[in-house]
């Protein structure tokens, strides 16, 4: 279920919202080969009425499953936004979706979580990549065949 705020209540006083947003609501449409949303988003937000919209402030947290960009090992990457703040516009082209008396804050939360994702996830800062065994295997592939011929011999004999 999306994060909705009652606009009538927020006009009178600050509204506090707290809960968990399922992955299907904020991360199901994110497509990446090495980052996977599999944990709900926890939020604790205060929503205040402003002249131009709603001031949304609080904290967001989740963790994502990643594969290291160097060694391909799986690991967890925590995303903690302790000082989240956004202005939710009520009018204009960037206005939040309003259904009856409720405004949907989910796109604001989704945007900041996506911005918190690593561009190049590493299991640890000093990750050196694939182990040496893989490099030795790659060297064996470059060796010439046992009969002494080169894999390029057939191409060398072409008359173009």
Q: Please write the tens of the pLDDT for every residue from 40-91.
A: 999 999 999 988 899 999 999 999 999 999 898 999 999 999 999 999 998 8
Tokens 């259904």 sit on residue: 99
51 class by beta-carbon count within 10 Å (0-12 exposed, 13-18 middle, 19+ buried): exposed
Structure tokens at 9: 């209540």
Structure tokens at 158: 């072409």
CA R_g for the chain: 25
- 138: pLDDT strictly greater than 70: no
Considering the entire predicted model, what is its pTM?
0.73
Calculate the dihedral angle through the C-alpha atoms of 138, 140, 143, 149, rounding to the nearest 10 degrees.
-110
């Amino acid at each position: 279920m999306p994060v909705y705020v009652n606009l009538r209540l927020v006009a009178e006083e600050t509204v506090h919202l707290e809960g968990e947003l399922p992955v299907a609501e904020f991360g199901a449409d994110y497509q990446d080969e090495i980052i996977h949303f599999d944990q709900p988003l926890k939020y604790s937000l205060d929503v205040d009425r402003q002249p131009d919209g709603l001031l949304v402030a609080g904290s967001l947290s989740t963790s994502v499953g990643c594969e290291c960009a160097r060694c391909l090992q799986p690991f967890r990457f925590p995303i903690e936004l302790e000082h989240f703040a956004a202005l939710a516009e009520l009018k204009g082209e960037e206005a939040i979706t309003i259904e009856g008396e409720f405004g949907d804050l989910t796109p604001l939360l989704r945007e900041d979580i996506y911005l918190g994702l690593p561009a190049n996830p590493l299991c640890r800062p000093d990750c050196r990549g694939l182990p040496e065994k893989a490099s030795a295997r790659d060297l064996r592939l470059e060796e010439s065949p046992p009969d002494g011929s080169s894999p390029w011999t057939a191409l060398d004999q072409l008359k173009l």
